[in-house]
Structure 1
Amino acid sequence: MSKTCPKCGEDLPDDAHFCGNCGYDFFKKDTASKSNSGFDGKIFLAIIVIVAIIVVGIFFAIGSGGNNSTNDNADVSEVDLTITEVNGYTSSSANPQSYSLYTQALFNKVPSDLKGYNVRTTYLDANGTEIGFETETLSNIYYDSDYSLSFGYYTTYKKPNPDHVTVEIIKDGKTIDNFTQKIDQGKIKFLN
């Protein structure tokens, strides 16, 4: 068997380390070849690492989006209340006379951080037409109590005839839950 010099084409014995014609070093070629192969391997490894970083970044970006919507769903259960009654009063000393409505509720569950939470209390008549509403921050309404808290004070100069109330829990501008209660008109003095 013989091998051929890649530089000049001379036929050489298999165990030749150098080409007798041009001086080509067979070991240097193998070292260079291994070096190039190592370099190519490093480039290939670098490409794999970059692609992996991009894929992981996309995964976390998509995962974060999913977690936000999960958190939005979790917000729904962070506020729970029971409307206990809707009451009202008049200001008989004022001219013209004004009528005020307010809602009382037990807050069964609230988030530890009240930031970004609002409460919109809407009073509606029997036809579902809005009489009026009041929007307040949850932090202004809520304090730790075993008793019903009053909120949603709405005042008008036209005698209202409320049928039901809706209390919306709003987080960062988005309604996450609402509670509706029929109003016992017998409890509102100016209606009797």
Structure 2
Amino acid sequence: MSKICPNCGKELPDDARFCMDCGYTLDAQQSGGMLNSFPLPTIFIILIVAILVIGGAFILSSGFGDSNKSPEKVANDSHTVDLTITGVGGWDSDSGKKSYTLYTEAIFNSVPGDLKKYNIKTTYYDTKGSEIGHETETLENIYYDSDYALGFGFYTTYKLPDPDHVTVEIIKDGKVIDSYTEQIDKNKIDYLN
């Protein structure tokens, strides 16, 4: 003879202690009915979903989920630009009127997600601290993802400059938010050698 589940009507073996369909315990008189308010298969589904949600949240918060960004080039949430000036170079031109060009190279360690809101002002100074000249560009026009130094701040003049140091300013909404200064190695400037 077989048992019938009083909750769902499923036919069960004589020795069954609970319904394998709805989770109802057959010792209802002793235990008070259902094993819990949810059928057994539903409990397993809830547990699996909870584990997946918690595991996914952990992976995303740890940064393991984004394999496309290297730690050095992360578009950061603090809205800052971090760079290292690697040098200043220069050359002269004989085509037409003699001209002299200076440029700065830097490695960008991190950049903000929205490059359009930032400008880079590169200013060259002589040994007296007087400005030789400057160039202002948008970060969007300068930066691309590279492991190498990027050149920017190309300033051309017809008067022979004698540069001493360079200052690179990060500008957002018309305000300087960061500044980097580097002494110039004159051996890297062709027309001075």
TM-score by length of structure 1 reads 0.59
1:170-185 correspondence to structure 2 within 5 Å: 170-185=171-186
2-structure distance, mates of 1:138, 1:93: 30
1:63-82 correspondence to structure 2 within 5 Å: 78-82=80-84
* 1:156 and 2:193 correspond: no
1:80-119 correspondence to structure 2 within 5 Å: 80-94=82-96, 96-119=97-120
Partner in structure 1 of residue 125 of structure 2: 124
Residue 162 of structure 1, CA deviation: 0.3
Structure number, greater radius of gyration: 1
2-structure distance, mates of 1:180, 1:90: 24
Identity of aligned residues (%): 66
- SS class of match (2:112): coil
Structure showing the higher helix proportion among its residues? 1
1-structure distance, mates of 2:108, 2:93: 29
Specify every segment of 5 or more residues in structure 2 that has no aligned partner in the other structure, as ranges: 1-75
Distance 1:173 1:82, change over 3 A: same
1:24-63 correspondence to structure 2 within 5 Å: none
2-structure distance, mates of 1:140, 1:102: 15
Residue 92 of structure 1, CA deviation: 1.6
Q: Is the 8 Å Cα contact of residues 105 and 152 (structure 2) preserved in structure 1?
A: yes
Partner in structure 1 of residue 34 of structure 2: none
Q: Is the 8 Å Cα contact of residues 89 and 101 (structure 1) preserved in structure 2?
A: yes
Residue 77 of structure 1, CA deviation: 6.7
Deviation digits for residues 13-38 of structure 1, max 9, x if unmatched? xxxxxxxxxxxxxxxxxxxxxxxxxx
2-structure distance, mates of 1:75, 1:115: 15
Deviation digits for residues 125-158 of structure 1, max 9, x if unmatched? 0111000000000000000000000000000000
2-structure distance, mates of 1:182, 1:153: 17
2-structure distance, mates of 1:157, 1:111: 36
Partner in structure 1 of residue 137 of structure 2: 136
Partner in structure 2 of residue 31 of structure 1: none
Q: Is the 8 Å Cα contact of residues 77 and 113 (structure 2) preserved in structure 1?
A: no
2-structure distance, mates of 1:161, 1:76: 37
TM-score by length of structure 2 reads 0.59
Q: Is the 8 Å Cα contact of residues 120 and 168 (structure 1) preserved in structure 2?
A: yes
